[in-house]
Chain A
Amino acid sequence: MKWLLRTFLAVLVLAIALVAWWLSAQHHPALPPATGTAANKDPALIARGAYLATVGDCAACHTAQGGKPYAGGRALPTPFGDVPAPNLTPDDATGLGQWSFDAFWRALHEGIGRDGRALYPAFPYTSYTKVSRDDAFALFAYLKSLSPVHSETAAPSLRFPYDLKASLATWRTLYFRPGQFVPDPKQSAEWNHGAYLVQGLGHCNECHVTRDNLGGLPAGETLTGGQIPAQNWYAPDLSTRAHGGLQGWSADDIVALLRTGQSAKGAAFGPMADVVMQSTQHLHEDDLHAIATYLQSLPPRPARAAGGSPLDTAALLGRGGDLYGKQCASCHRKDGQGAAGVYPALAGNGAVVEPTGINAIRIVLLGGFAPTTAAHPRPYSMPPFAQQLNDADVAAVVSYIRRAWGNDAGAVMERDVAAYRHTPVE
């Protein structure tokens, strides 16, 4: 029977290869260089574009560490290899200098570069395809108004077979359809605006959902939470209703977190701290409220399995409780309530009880400052415990906080801690 299976697999691989080859033969034309008057120079339009670039947090990926804004160079890590973000300044040789608006629109909307080649979805055109043409026009005007920076972008360094043109073509066929945002007439204008921001420029779903093994986004499931590939933080489910990752969050809580980095229900940390600092803290109040209105409409989620373990965790939790009393309680308090506005409550905190335990493990190891925002220009911080606590200690204290004060998430093991001990920076 083995030969039958092998033959079947071989035929299957061949069939996939043929389809992929056919797909990659689908041709997109290169677009001609822009003429001198490619971009609109209207200052109001440029200012609107600057705001939209902040909403989309374009600079986060398109700026190297310590580099000039939008000049590219930061390598986005993916499970398939690194994808460096290109230079968006209007430099003729290395940036968008030669790009027309049509080329820019096609990149944003269809994920095709000016040369006609498909772009890697590390550039989240899966979301940006919903950005309106008007907004794209403003963004383009803004990017064209930047001072050109001559900065060559390295080629993506993807592993075989992900580096093949056919692989990308297959991926696009499986996971991408150019689309547009279609307002829901049954919902309010505010809801629709929030949905547009979250699904389009905000590209929230690129992190806040579980990708499959090929890095594809699941069809028909949005913002249900997921582990961010290669970065290994857990981006929580964003539903505020029953069993949601933000269960019990009010619209004001959501707005507060996005505007200040902190809310009564928890603080932003890890990659979301960067998003708050660079993007959401600068958003207009009505945009933030629209986002909150939309998120609050996300449906309830199915109940998660209780976190009880078939193994005897009493000893682990006992040790964790002791450590908590010694190391954590002075700030987060014995009852896990924290200190309002300074140290987040751990009881009922979504970051503590998320399914994987990664976030709590990382925060215990790394510590760090709350996001620096206009509301909190001198944030308080948490000491890192990576030097003080071994893997078993961290597993114990994280397991304890995931089970204490009514929290009902699973214990974590020593090996889970070991897996996430390295510090995630580029």
Chain B
Amino acid sequence: MSLLPSVRLAPALLAAALFAATVRAADAPTVPDTLKQRIAACTACHGEQGQGTPESGFFPRLAGKPAGYLARQIKNFQDGLRKYAPMEYTVRGLSPEYMHEIADYFAAQQVPYERSPVPRISAAMLERGQTLATHGDAARKVPACAACHGAQLTGVQPDIPGLVGLPYDYVSAQLGSWRTHTRAMVAPDCMAAIAGRLSEADITAVSAWLATRDVPADAHAQPPGSVTPPLACGVLGATEAAR
């Protein structure tokens, strides 16, 4: 009686032992040799596909943004043009090649856009936002967003990001950070000039209107060279003298 159960259990025990052995073998340190595995420091906040946190806008979406734009942002954090200590710390040692590889990874991600909350503002404000985005404000020398960011506001390859599908908080924070000098680009910094010409109400209006827009079925950035920027932009190759 005392032997029987253990004999009966033997195959089960053997199986369990074998299972444990396989588990241990699988547990041996084999780390995937993939970029995704290497960039855990990025994906921890921005998401494995660079989807960001659309509900809060706190960690920006990287997915599908033009690769040149993304690589430039990493460089700008390295150079202190963009100020955010955790990003500056994380990217400080990356080589230009690695930066571009990481940028390409996120640029290639296809993630559906999610609706994010829009603040309750008046219809008049939304209309003002639409006017700014599509026509600009000639009196204040503010060009339309669409003049650079594309007719559908989906960006232009390889350097200009899209503006649709982004949370209100994110867009307004970026315009604000140009004004507080925590975000900058190589000179001449056209976005700093534009952000400086907008009032705070304008920033609210245009960020809110952009956040209400439906993302077009084809959210890809327009082909290179398909816009003629109305301002001298260092990131688009303009030099300080040309201004």
Chain A interfacial positions (CB closer than 8 Å to B): 65-66, 273-274, 277, 331, 333, 337-340, 342-343, 366-369, 371-372, 377-384, 386-388, 422-426
Contact, CB under 8 Å: B79 / A342? no
C-alpha spacing A272/B43, complex, angstroms: 25
Q: Of B31, B43, B90, B101, which one neighbours A369 at CB under 8 angstroms?
A: B90
C-alpha spacing A369/B81, complex, angstroms: 21
Contact, CB under 8 Å: B29 / A342? yes
Contact, CB under 8 Å: B29 / A337? yes
Chain B interfacial positions (CB closer than 8 Å to A): 27, 29-31, 35, 37-45, 78-81, 85-86, 88-90, 92-95, 97-98, 101
> Please, could you name 16 A-B residue pairs with CB atoms under 8 Å apart, sorted by A?
A66-B78, A66-B81, A333-B27, A338-B29, A339-B30, A340-B29, A366-B89, A369-B41, A377-B98, A378-B38, A381-B38, A383-B40, A384-B45, A388-B44, A423-B89, A425-B85
C-alpha spacing A384/B31, complex, angstroms: 19
Which residues on B sit within 8 Å (CB–CB) of A65?
78-80
C-alpha spacing A331/B81, complex, angstroms: 33
Contact, CB under 8 Å: A381 / B93? no
Q: Of B29, B31, B92, B94, which one neighbours A274 at CB under 8 angstroms?
A: B92
Which residues on B sit within 8 Å (CB–CB) of A383?
40-41, 43-45
Contact, CB under 8 Å: A273 / B93? yes
Which residues on A sit within 8 Å (CB–CB) of B94?
369, 372
Which residues on B sit within 8 Å (CB–CB) of A343?
29, 31
Contact, CB under 8 Å: B40 / A372? no
Extra 20 A-B pairs, beta carbons < 8 Å, given A368-B90, A382-B41: A65-B80, A274-B93, A337-B29, A339-B29, A342-B31, A369-B90, A369-B93, A372-B94, A372-B95, A372-B98, A377-B95, A378-B38, A381-B39, A383-B40, A383-B43, A384-B90, A423-B85, A424-B89, A425-B88, A425-B89
Q: Of A339, A371, A386, which one neighbours B93 at CB under 8 angstroms?
A: A371
* Total A-B residue contacts, Cβ distance less than 8 Å: 89
Contact, CB under 8 Å: B93 / A384? no
Which residues on B sit within 8 Å (CB–CB) of A426?
80
Which residues on A sit within 8 Å (CB–CB) of B85?
422-425
Contact, CB under 8 Å: B90 / A66? no
Contact, CB under 8 Å: B44 / A384? yes
Which residues on B sit within 8 Å (CB–CB) of A369?
41, 90, 93-94
Which residues on B sit within 8 Å (CB–CB) of A377?
95, 97-98
Q: Known A66-B81, A339-B31, A366-B86; judge A378-B98 contact (CB<8 A).
A: yes
Which residues on B sit within 8 Å (CB–CB) of A337?
29
A66 closest partner in B (C-beta): B79
Contact, CB under 8 Å: A384 / B41? yes
**Closest CB of chain A to B2's CB: distance in Å?**
36
C-alpha spacing A333/B31, complex, angstroms: 11
C-alpha spacing A229/B234, complex, angstroms: 39
**Closest CB of chain B to A76's CB: distance in Å?**
16
**Closest CB of chain B to A378's CB: distance in Å?**
6
C-alpha spacing A379/B102, complex, angstroms: 12
C-alpha spacing A57/B44, complex, angstroms: 32
A340 closest partner in B (C-beta): B29
A366 closest partner in B (C-beta): B89
**Closest CB of chain B to A58's CB: distance in Å?**
18
Which residues on B sit within 8 Å (CB–CB) of A339?
29-31
A67 closest partner in B (C-beta): B79
C-alpha spacing A340/B30, complex, angstroms: 9
Which residues on A sit within 8 Å (CB–CB) of B97?
377
Which residues on B sit within 8 Å (CB–CB) of A380?
31, 37-38, 40
**Closest CB of chain A to B62's CB: distance in Å?**
15
Q: Of A378, A384, A424, which one neighbours B101 at CB under 8 angstroms?
A: A378
C-alpha spacing A372/B94, complex, angstroms: 6
C-alpha spacing A264/B79, complex, angstroms: 32
B58 closest partner in A (C-beta): A387
C-alpha spacing A423/B86, complex, angstroms: 6
**Closest CB of chain B to A370's CB: distance in Å?**
8
**Closest CB of chain B to A324's CB: distance in Å?**
15
A426 closest partner in B (C-beta): B80
Contact, CB under 8 Å: A381 / B42? yes
**Closest CB of chain B to A360's CB: distance in Å?**
16
C-alpha spacing A371/B95, complex, angstroms: 10
C-alpha spacing A316/B133, complex, angstroms: 54
**Closest CB of chain A to B42's CB: distance in Å?**
7
C-alpha spacing A382/B37, complex, angstroms: 10
Which residues on A sit within 8 Å (CB–CB) of B78?
65-66
**Closest CB of chain A to B71's CB: distance in Å?**
15
C-alpha spacing A274/B101, complex, angstroms: 21
B41 closest partner in A (C-beta): A381
Which residues on A sit within 8 Å (CB–CB) of B101?
378
B186 closest partner in A (C-beta): A66
A332 closest partner in B (C-beta): B29
**Closest CB of chain B to A130's CB: distance in Å?**
29
